[in-house]
Amino acid sequence: MSDVGHVLVLAGGLSYEREVSLRSGRRVSEVLRAAGIDVETRDTDASLVPSILADPPDAVFVTLHGGAGEDGAIRSVLELLNVPYVGADPDACRAAFDKPTAKAAVRSVGLPTPESVTLPKETFHDLGATVVLGRIVERLGLPLFVKPARGGSALGASMVRTAEELPAAMVGCFAYGDTALIERYVEGVEVALSVVDYGNGPVALPAVEIVPDGGVYDYAARYTAGRTEFFAPARLSPEAAAACAEAAVTAHTALGLRDISRTDLIVDAADQPHFLEVNVAPGMTETSLFPMAVEAAGQDLGDLCRTLLRNVANRATR
């Protein structure tokens, strides 16, 4: 018998990351069913709220990526319906989903993060793109990394190695969001640190090292099998691994996150981790980093998800 009752997995949505979300939802549903849990998978359409009101689940596992899945909106609705769910509350989601806000929060508690400029599309056009971009290059230097201030899966993100590449990178970025985050690129080892709270405080799982075949961990590198080589645990010194784990837990705590998160870092030549961004709904696909970290820790993904669901169901009854 299941110890968490009826579970609803939310997947899909209308963001650019819909297909990834559907894959994540399918994977979570599969591992939960294998763990003996009664699982229903639903999209976020007009039938969702009536369905929840008619048959409230004991807990919800949110596998929505981007947009309403990570900006707190769907979680606000779940709270209105008094339905417990895995993950951060709406306020924490809003802070984490906006990359400049998240960078400011972690910087305030002492975590290094690359120097950056946040530029809305209107400012980019109104003040003159050529002049503004020239000043950005003077200020931050090259290379740069450009990405939407909100969103995930590296959609609209690109490396900029020369000043001539920056305008096209900005246009590509604005195709996926109205505000661009332009960061100084930090050379080093890219790692992802998943954080899980089993009920006794957040702990970091082993770091996963990311080595994309083209040098940039873009959308294709993330979700095309064979395009990226992963090492779990990452090939870091013990000191660097410990520093990354501490950084991820610090980011999780500083942003007020809950249950699970994934922090992306760059480790420089001096073994110093630099915060890039945090994800409140980590991908759960076959090529996603969170399941790799769970396996590297010697744990079972289904058991972990069941524990999280049991904890949130118990939390709702207190």
Q: Is 283 a catalytic site residue?
A: yes
Q: Write down the catalytic residue from 58, 70, 197, 264.
A: 264
Q: Is 264 a catalytic site residue?
A: yes
Q: Is 153 a catalytic site residue?
A: yes
Q: Which two tokens stand for residue 127?
A: 């003040």
Q: Write down the catalytic residue from 16, 85, 217, 223.
A: 223
Q: Write down the catalytic residue from 262, 288, 306, 310.
A: 262
Q: Residue 119 and residue 138: Cα distance in Å, rounded?
A: 15
Q: Write down the catalytic residue from 21, 24, 116, 153.
A: 153
Left (φ > 0), alpha (ψ -120 to 50) or beta: where does 156 sit? Answer: left
Neighbours of 46 (CB within 10 A): 7
Strand 59-62 to strand 273-279: parallel, antiparallel, or no bridges (unpaired)? unpaired
Q: Is 279 a catalytic site residue?
A: yes
User: Sheet harboring 144-148: ordered strands across?
Assistant: 116-120, 179-184, 144-148, 158-160
261, containing H or E segment: strand 260-267
Q: Write down the catalytic residue from 12, 15, 16, 17.
A: 17
Which of 290, 193, 200, 288 is CA-nearest to residue 248?
193
Task: State whether residue 11 is helix, strand or coil.
Answer: coil
Residues 151 and 177 sit within 8 Å (Cβ to Cβ): yes
Q: Write down the catalytic residue from 12, 13, 283, 302.
A: 283
Q: Write down the catalytic residue from 29, 261, 279, 311.
A: 279
Q: Is 223 a catalytic site residue?
A: yes
Q: Write down the catalytic residue from 23, 58, 277, 311.
A: 277
Q: What residues act catalytically?
A: 17, 153, 223, 262, 264, 277, 279, 283
